[in-house]
Amino acid sequence: MKQFYLLFILLPTFCFCQKKKNINLISEDSVINKWTRASINIETRLSYRKFLAPYEKQEFEGIISRDSLWKIEDSLKFIGRRTGTMIFLEDKGKHFLLTAKHVVIDTSSTRENASYRNYMLIENFTSYKFTNDPIVGDQFGNIYSFNHNFISFIIYDGDIRFRNFHFTDDSDDLAIVYLDSSIIGQQIIDGLYERGYRPIHISDIDTICKIKKNDEIYAIGYPQESIVANQNLPRAIFNWSSNLISLPVISKGKTIVSEDKKHTFEANIFTYFGNSGGPIVRNNKLIGIVSGFYLDTFNIYNTGRLLSGYIKYRPKFVKSSLLMSLYKDMQVRGMLLPGEERYKFNR
Mean pLDDT estimate for the chain: 82
CA 296/CA 301 separation, integer angstroms: 16
Quickly state the pLDDT bin for 25 (edges 50, 70, 90). Answer: low
pLDDT of residue 78: 60
Residue 2 has pLDDT above 60, yes or no: no
User: pTM score, two decimals?
Assistant: 0.82
Give me the mean pLDDT over the 128-157 stretch: 55
Give me the mean pLDDT over the 312-327 stretch: 93
Decide which of 342 and 33 is more confident.
Answer: 33
Looking from the CA of 79 toward its CB, the CA atoms found within 13 Å total 8
Quickly state the pLDDT bin for 127 (edges 50, 70, 90). Answer: confident
Residue pair 69/56 in contact (Cβ under 8 Å)? The answer is: yes
pLDDT of residue 294: 84
Residue 145 has pLDDT above 50, yes or no: no
Decide which of 273 and 153 is more confident.
Answer: 273
Residue 108 has pLDDT above 50, yes or no: yes
Q: From 2.40.10.10, 1.10.3720.10, 1.10.540.10, 3.40.50.1980, which CATH number describes the 38-336 domain?
A: 2.40.10.10
**What share of the chain in percent tops pLDDT 70?**
81
Task: Note the pLDDT tens digit of each residue in 253-304.
Answer: 999 978 888 999 999 999 999 999 999 999 999 999 999 888 887 776 665 6
- Which stretch of 79-93, 137-151, 260-274 has the lowest confidence by average pLDDT? 137-151
Domain positions in the chain = 38-336
